[in-house]
Amino acid sequence: MKILALADIESPNFYERFDISPYRGVEGVISCGDVMPELLTYIATMLNVPVFYVYGNHDEIYLKRPPEGCENIDGRIIEFKGKKILGLGGSIKYSDGKFQFTEKEMEGRIRRLYFKLRKGIDIVVAHSPPAGVHETGDFAHKGFESFLKLIIKYQPKYFLHGHTHMNYVYNSQRIAEIGKTKVINCSGIVILEL
């Protein structure tokens, strides 16, 4: 399954100069948050494939102006092309943002999905990384311990996230592994074969 994954694109310049031609042939789009709603609407229109998203910590504009033609999977498990996908947006709580959570709050969000999670998941789409992976030195870009526990317990094939831009840490790696799970930092735009 060929996926266009993206996160942390807030510049109107990017939207205005976006060249869609390299992305033809993708079967779905996944936004890991902090992407302008206009850009997601544009991609949904141009590619004419399903577009799924979770909230980033800067996505409060979505409450007034959600991306058109896109599906919010935040706090839900959906099935796409035979794969079960769990969406968990937001970041660690560092201010009063709507899409910021304490560790305990994120644990509660995961716990509410317990009965659905027992059937297994293939892909987790989050905004923040799991603890200890792709984190930066500041508190606002800390990963969630509850995500690490989720990975260890349910062993999804992929954990996609944004939030920690690739240029935040010198020589950062896009892909890390926790057991059988590939943790992929989708900051910017990446094409994935899942």
Give 83's contacts (C-beta < 8 A, 6+ positions apart).
1, 122, 123, 194
pLDDT per position as a tens digit, 85-140 = 999 999 999 999 999 999 999 999 999 999 999 999 999 999 999 998 877 777 88
pLDDT-derived band of residue 171, with 50, 70 and 90 as boundaries? low
All domains in the chain, ordered by first residue? 2-193 (3.60.21.10)
Count CB atoms within 10 A of the CB of residue 186.
26
For residue 59 the two structure tokens come to 């996505």
What is the pLDDT at residue 70?
98
Laid out side by side, the sheet with 181-185 consists of: 77-80, 83-88, 123-126, 158-161, 181-185, 175-178
Res 44 pLDDT > 70: yes
pTM to 2 decimal places: 0.93
Share of the chain above pLDDT 70, in %: 93
- Please give the Cα distance from 98 to 148 (Å, whole number): 23
Is the sign of the CA dihedral 117, 122, 128, 130 positive or negative?
positive
Give 115's contacts (C-beta < 8 A, 6+ positions apart).
none
- Answer yes or no: are the C-beta atoms of 139 and 94 closer than 8 Å: yes
pLDDT per position as a tens digit, 8-26 = 987 666 667 777 788 888 9
- Please give the Cα distance from 30 to 111 (Å, whole number): 23
Count CB atoms within 10 A of the CB of residue 130.
25
- Answer yes or no: are the C-beta atoms of 184 and 166 closer than 8 Å: no
For the chain, the residue count is: 194
- Please give the Cα distance from 24 to 29 (Å, whole number): 11
Query: Which DSSP symbol is given to 167?
Result: G
- Strand pairing class (100-101; 91-92): parallel
- Which residues sit opposite 51 in a β-bridge? 29
What is the pLDDT at residue 170?
60
- Please give the Cα distance from 61 to 19 (Å, whole number): 24
